[in-house]
A and B are shown apart, each in its own frame.
Chain A
């Protein structure tokens, strides 16, 4: 989100999900939308049926790519080069929106100067994308009045993830495709409340509502409410914690509802770190791989056993009603936190979650009008919603960017951290499949879903399969510099030669044993999407 925040002043979907039905051109990049965000794919396909043009940027021939008017099957990790190439074409064709650039943006000269140095043949060589296709896509995007750019983790989980996002923002601003309905830049959020967790500042470098840790006035506001001074130094990111090493300076952790043993890259390192802690407490609904290492495990109430709000990808804050009482002795996480706080000498008593929300509304300006009584009886409100009378905001940046003027930040192509070579000749791409979700803690325990998909598959092109004498359905070993996993081969033309694809839902084939810990220097997003591997059939 860092990239979008730099460009637009706010890191969230600029449009609403339903606006996607009325776009003229939509680019989808690094997102297997039909499987990971079915409702968004439905809007995109509805737009296509209405006559909109669809451009898919993805190394794989995804289901959406098969419906696309233009599919740019780039080499993994070359998004910046491709988009820079497209922007150069837009400039050359005179399709830049000069008026928008003049009125609403700054630092365009830096981008222009960089784009003029680009050689399009070189771009074609780097990305593996045909120049003519690139040209078609660029013109489609730039000529339409309402163009939207959707992206997902295929953009952010690279060592250059922040630059990738900034480049997308550059292209949107270059063509004036922001600050209006049905046009914008839309990062698709992968989890039901990832937006909310960010908004609430379960983040190390800001206070709730993305407010500055260093601003004296804001610190004073929090001090008044919380009764204590907020620590000034930004904290550690998730990888700074889980990769801090055995017997590092991190001595104790409390993990609420996450499973870093499966979700974080370089599993060996994560395991060593967690095992070396003096104290690890985990709160979860199942005994996850991480909970198994803990000193204390709290049985948490599931979503059906408590009430509260969540914020979706389009910034819509929605109320979840409690359905049943907590099972067994389970307690909601809120109770567990409050009980710990009391025991550590800090009064944290709230009569209800509505009271917590009132404190949130008081401290976070964009949540200022979000109260449970408003949210319970409606379909929720989209932030910013500064006061009780405010109806919420379906699309962002109308009239002006929240950070003032939109900022162009030129970026250059950067090779992935671990390119394939002689020893590890294939590029591994990771992603999600339709039937499962993240580390599988929940979906693997849904009998119907697990029947549909019960084992990890490795998509491999027939050419590579033949080279390694692999048949469809064979058990294969996939090895990177960090480890080996076993999974089943699925021969498919949807993946290109030299690349293989698998998912991260299966604890019996933990892909994070293979992926690199290399991360984007600003967003600290690990490069999950690209690493070098080799594959071999397991002799029975």
Chain B
């Protein structure tokens, strides 16, 4: 079983966690003994960090609303449609008619890219996340 170091996704403590991988699946979580925060222990959430990764309810294909139902579609269709609708709204109602919510669960790089997308591509500062919540 391969052990790969990552950081716990829950609270702001930021514990170092090893995820155990077997046959392409994440099947175990354990603390890093030397990590400055976890120092060898994890709370109950950290010890079960692997449990949601392969949950059967994970989304695995893009979904597009057709006849008021979300149906599986290919990536190109979902992305093309989204880019077109965002452009249409920006062009007819102005960029500030669009709003983006980023996530305290996503990485720094992703947050950076989304705000860049908001400011440089859409042209609006309407971007926030749940820091206040």
Contacts and interface: CB of A to CB of B under 8 A. Distances in A.
B105 A192 contact: yes
B44 to A, nearest CB: 6
Interface residues of B, number: 95
Nearest to A432: B11
A365 interface: no
Interface string A296-320: 1111101111101111111011111
A472 B10 CA distance: 31
A42 B39 CA distance: 11
Contacts of A437: 10-11, 45
Given A296-B63, A310-B14, A330-B60, A196 B117 contact: no
Contacts of B34: 379
Contact of A213 (B82, B125, B126): B125
A405 B87 CA distance: 46
A252 B86 contact: yes
Interface in B102-133: 102-133
A263 B47 CA distance: 25
Q: Which of A17, A252, A379 has the most CB of B within 10 A?
A: A252
Q: Which of A197, A322, A357 has the most CB of B within 10 A?
A: A197
Given A235-B127, A313-B12, A251 B52 contact: no
B105 A435 contact: no
A15 B58 CA distance: 38
B21 A323 contact: yes
Contacts of A331: 75
B62 A299 contact: yes
Given A254-B86, A256-B101, A340-B117, A447 B51 contact: yes
Interface string A325-350: 10111111110111111011010100
A256 B102 contact: yes
Interface in B34-82: 34-38, 41, 43-45, 48, 50-55, 57-65, 70, 75, 78-82
Contacts of B95: 231
B23 to A, nearest CB: 10
A320 B75 CA distance: 26
A3 interface: no
Given A196-B108, A257-B103, A323-B4, A38 B13 contact: yes
B127 to A, nearest CB: 6
A482 interface: no
Interface stretch (A172-180, A203-211, A406-414): A203-211
Given A263-B133, A296-B62, A200 B115 contact: yes
- 9 nearest interchain CB pairs? A328-B60, A312-B14, A308-B107, A189-B12, A235-B125, A257-B103, A202-B102, A313-B12, A343-B83
19 contacts: A205-B125, A208-B112, A233-B125, A235-B125, A250-B126, A253-B98, A254-B100, A263-B130, A286-B58, A302-B53, A310-B108, A333-B113, A340-B79, A340-B82, A344-B122, A379-B35, A379-B36, A446-B51, A519-B132
Given A203-B128, A327-B54, 9 more contacts: A39-B15, A197-B108, A231-B125, A238-B133, A250-B97, A254-B100, A263-B133, A308-B109, A333-B110
